[in-house]
Amino acid sequence: MKGRDYILPVLVLVTMLAALYLVGFYAPVEREQGVVQKIFYFHVPSAWVAFLAFFVVFAFSFRYLVSRDKRWDNRAAAAAEVGVMFCTLVIVTGPIWAKPVWGIWWTWDARLTLTLVLWLIYVSYVLLRHYIADAEKRATLSAVLGIIGFIDVPLVYFAIRWWRTQHPQPVIGGGGDSGMDPRMAATFWVCVVAFTVLFVYLFQVRAKQYDLEDEIEQAHQLADELPSTEKGV
């Protein structure tokens, strides 16, 4: 690895350690919900990064359909896989937080249901890529699904603003009654940065793996096309 290749892993380590320290020792315990509220610092940043990942899928899918350049399909696929991971964290941490606060693991309110739909859309995207053998057809259908699926992201985000739900109202940008203790806000934004850096790192690693797989496949195809004398037969 070159020196610059260590920058992102080091940033991931530093920001994650800072986030864990702030969550554990700096952010105050919420008065009504208690210590379980600290799941907030993992739950919400995971959701924001999942939205970011699916926007990347949307952008690179569109770019692929315009250019038909396999590199953009690879990057859309990489973002989708990482996005599914973060969306899974949202769905797992949500019920863990909800049970002590709401008394139930799950309720079919608007935001929770739409988040589950979002997760299912991009899980389907990942599965689609494994079940279609033809590379061009796979890339095209995946791009269409990646673009259409992104429609659910703003629905998830605005659900608690458009409909009455059991999900907590926004504490950031929610109006005059919203807001957090300054120590909570600082911890939250550090967590957002940490999770975003982690996404960028995982995305780059997976995209490079896809590009390498394409190079290996092209090398095999060239080898198969060589005359038998050039293959040493």
Q: Is 220 among the domain residues?
A: no
Q: Is 200 among the domain residues?
A: yes
Q: Is 228 among the domain residues?
A: no
What total number of domains does the chain contain? 1
What is the biggest distance separating any 2 CA atoms in the chain, rounded to whole angstroms?
Answer: 78
Q: Is 60 among the domain residues?
A: yes
Could you tell me if 13 and 198 are in contact, meaning their C-beta atoms sit under 8 angstroms apart? no
Q: Is 230 among the domain residues?
A: no
Q: Is 217 among the domain residues?
A: no
Number of H helices, E strands in the chain: 7, 0
125: CATH? 1.20.120
Spatial neighbors of 67 by CB under 8 A, at least 6 apart, are none
Q: What is the pLDDT of residues 99-148, one digit of tens each?
A: 888 888 888 888 889 999 999 999 999 999 988 888 899 999 999 999 99
Average pLDDT over residues 66-76: 93
Q: Could you give the CA distance from residue 24 to residue 13 in angstroms, rounded to a whole number?
A: 16
Q: Is 215 among the domain residues?
A: no
Domain that holds residue 154: 9-171+179-209
Q: What is the pLDDT of residues 145-180, one digit of tens each?
A: 999 999 999 999 888 777 666 666 666 654 445 567
Q: What is the pLDDT of residues 52-65, one digit of tens each?
A: 999 999 999 999 99
**Which pLDDT belongs to residue 2?**
63
**Residues recorded for the chain:** 233
Average pLDDT over residues 79-86: 97
User: Scanning the structure block, which residue is given the tokens 């249901």?
Assistant: 113
Q: Is 185 among the domain residues?
A: yes
